[in-house]
Amino acid sequence: MDWMSDGLQDTGWRRHVLSALVMNQPGVLSHVAGMLASRGFNIDSLAVGETETPELSRMTFVVVGDDRHLEQVRKQLEKIVTVVKVLDISKEEFVERDLMLIKVRATPEQRSEIRGLADDFRARVVDVGPSLMMLEVSGTAKKVEAFIELMRPYGIAELARTGRIALVRDSVRPVDRATLPPEPGGVVVGHSSL
């Protein structure tokens, strides 16, 4: 849900997407989460995974707070020995995604209807059982939440979400890309509108 539409703008608080590069060591996640909790921040979303450098992981978390307070927390997080860098990417142009697996009750007669809805959301059917279908959907949090609402009438048996992951967009403007040499393999990658 967008902070502009959920009443947060009236409080001076807003959603912040933080991206932290941390060393791949035991206890880093609990240390960072503990620091945020001790400062009164509730973590709305948290995702951790290895980066292109195996010694480092990227933590992406979404918290709600005012800019000044969160900036202090960001600086304190950077003082943790195992934290390499912390960025509040909320003010940047960034791409975010959330991944979900969802089990939906589906009679044989409902399966084609559910597949049609899945196609509209670019979701994939990953398993079909006698009474359940499992689907995979990724995209913005709003897209995932909209898909959940469409599946509710069928009956949601179970769902799991990764939490949001995000990366800052390339700083080169799309119109300047024509002057760049082609990427390896001859493909120049642009920005997706999804």
Sequence-distant (6+) residues with CB within 8 A of 159 are: 100, 101, 102, 103, 148
- Of the candidates 141, 111, 143, the residue with the CA atom closest to the CA atom of residue 127: 111
d(CA 167, CA 96): 7
- Of the candidates 168, 152, 146, 1, the residue with the CA atom closest to the CA atom of residue 89: 168
> What's the mean per-residue pLDDT of the chain?
82
pLDDT of residue 12: 66
pLDDT of residue 57: 94
* pLDDT tens, position by position, 56-96: 999 998 888 888 878 877 888 888 889 999 988 888 899 99
Mean pLDDT of 131-135: 97
* pLDDT tens, position by position, 150-185: 999 999 999 999 989 999 998 755 444 444 444 444
Provide the CATH number for the domain formed by 3-92 in this structure. 3.30.70.260
* pLDDT tens, position by position, 26-42: 888 888 888 888 887 88
Task: Report domain extents, the chain.
Answer: 3-92, 95-168
d(CA 86, CA 155): 40
Which is more confidently placed, 17 or 12? 17
Question: What is the maximum span of the chain, computed from C-alpha positions, in angstroms?
Answer: 58
CA dihedral 152, 153, 154, 158 (to 10 degrees): 20
Architecture of domain 95-168 in CATH? 2-Layer Sandwich (3.30)
Which is more confidently placed, 83 or 189? 83
